[in-house]
Chains A and B, each alone.
Chain A
């Protein structure tokens, strides 16, 4: 994995050891000031916004754009935004879109080509990526960004398009004080508290009817920003309140990935259970497209009508399409069952072989946004149970 020390993800331990200003308590004015400070530093701030009945990333102009008083209800194939405690800012969790769309857009122009008298010329477009600040990154999504870093930058080849977008990103994480029914980050070891990889981390704490935020610096470049916010010193009580809130969220999780799932799936490639899930699976691709770590893409070539110009575009693809496994003569994975197996075993098992980590961060999006509510934790458990019955 690529080291980002001194750039984006100065590690939390180093920050904590450096003394001044590693943590403080701010209120809503502090959030406003933080967004303004990031903008003054030249960042385009993207954070949670309410659109079409869901929390999705949107442009934040001021702190007033943050959605107050919302919570969500999530289960298999079900997501509803609901009114929550009107004074709470972060009681919803992840929505259908992840930060993947900002770092690795759904469609990218790779090059254009023009036919000349002697062959053709190729032009690669410049990547015009704004300096982005991600505001409100949940710990599972922080882990997902680490995963994408490994995929796109950790191997022998670096995806320069990803690298350019990722390079300057300033991350304001939000630790979760509430879990949805679809969350299982605790069992994946990715949350509900961020373990580094952020510039600043917020934890919402409500005490004596007042909602405030414990804010912690995780990088050198975050310190001066934190120092200039209107704030109060963080007392032991504040730190304890934040710990309690996060612990409560972890305890509230009703779903968990079965232990040692990597070995379990590798032992069960021929399980009859794949046919069971294949009967329910729509092979619609939703799970892969909402997944914050699924990175597969396809390229498409187009020509102008006169055939003198061509362009190549890269688009998000999915292992659930027939085209994905098409080789000469046909598609290899024709059945839903084989496509579901491919996705799940890659995500939870062979990803370890490929990248030295799990491809799943426990965000639960694939559960909520599956139109028929297929639950990856339940499917893993069913396979584990089927072993017990043998």
Chain B
């Protein structure tokens, strides 16, 4: 399903019946599991970073599996699984299928899980070249040729973007699933956040290249409000016009190489950014 970015309108909430049985198929005190694949743990950390709100979450859900927080493990099935990280090894591919079978609702969190992450840079080269350059014993490495998002392997009920995700958005998604409503996670541009906050556009006022016009909102306009251009951490927005923005970057004096590189970072594997970067090879 891949709510964000796949169908472009973020409308799907994987629930489908906000009413009906009324409980979203979830138990009275739903069991929450947090899973890690190829990733840096930063998105899971956002859940711990919820601090005060985390206590409220822990009251509403049973934290059944969350190794970053506790070694205690409760067996599945699980009502909600939060999945961090990309599918990067054959083992990952097997494990995500097992987790999907054990999860009523599966929500992917972060750029790795939703777009393949920074490690998807390898998709543009040859795996062999990288592992022989990095590892003393490349034969120990059992990795897939590409790093891919979870949604390429199993059905996903909701994709929460960001590198890392925003903790307020994470709480909103959990809150929405617990209350049987659609999450308020907009898919429009970063510019909307900047303008609502009164942040002066760094591209227009300073000539700083910024991916904001093609990037999904959600971070709370962190970089532009600190006088930096948007790095695209939240991936492509709905209907992104990357080619127009790239053409403008070129007119402002940016080289083809630099244009390629701005689209190749945490969300390099997201389709719109991947295609744009490839057109500047």
Contact = CB atoms under 8 A, between A and B. Distances in A.
A372 B213 CA distance: 10
A284 interface: yes
Interface string A315-332: 110101111001000110
A371 B203 contact: yes
Interface in A25-59: 51-54, 56
Contacts of A331: 9
A315 B196 contact: yes
B124 interface: no
Nearest to B224: A52
B117 interface: no
Interface string B167-200: 0000110110011010010111101100111111
A373 B90 CA distance: 47
B232 interface: no
A304 B172 CA distance: 9
Nearest to B186: A323
Interface in A60-97: 77-81, 95-97
B196 A282 contact: no
Interface in A267-288: 279-286
The interface size bin for chain B is 35 or more
B130 interface: no
Nearest to B189: A284
B227 interface: yes
Contacts of B199: 52
Interface stretch (B29-37, B144-152, B240-248, B264-272): B240-248
**Most chain B CB inside 10 Å of its own CB: which residue of A305, A316, A334:** A305
B11 A321 contact: no
A81 B191 CA distance: 21
A320 B213 CA distance: 12
B2 interface: no
A302 interface: yes
B196 A322 contact: no
Contacts of A95: 200
A97 B186 contact: no
Interface string B75-91: 00000000000000000
Contacts of A307: 178-179
A371 B60 contact: no
A331 to B, nearest CB: 6
Contacts of B206: 53
Contacts of B200: 51-54, 56, 95-96
B156 interface: no
Interface string A84-115: 00000000000111000100001100000000
- Residue of B174, B244, B248 most packed against chain A (CB within 10 A): B244
Contacts of A305: 53, 56-57, 60, 171, 174-175, 178-179
Nearest to A57: B198
A323 B9 contact: yes
B234 to A, nearest CB: 14
Contacts of B56: 305-306
B204 interface: yes
A305 B201 CA distance: 35
A284 B175 contact: no
27 contacts: A52-B199, A56-B198, A77-B203, A79-B204, A95-B200, A280-B244, A282-B213, A283-B189, A284-B212, A284-B213, A284-B237, A289-B192, A289-B196, A290-B195, A301-B181, A301-B184, A302-B175, A305-B53, A307-B178, A316-B192, A316-B195, A321-B238, A322-B8, A322-B188, A369-B204, A371-B210, A371-B245
Given A301-B181, A307-B178, A323-B188, 18 more contacts: A52-B205, A53-B205, A79-B201, A101-B198, A106-B198, A279-B244, A284-B191, A284-B214, A300-B184, A301-B184, A302-B175, A303-B181, A305-B174, A320-B188, A321-B188, A336-B239, A371-B203, A372-B248
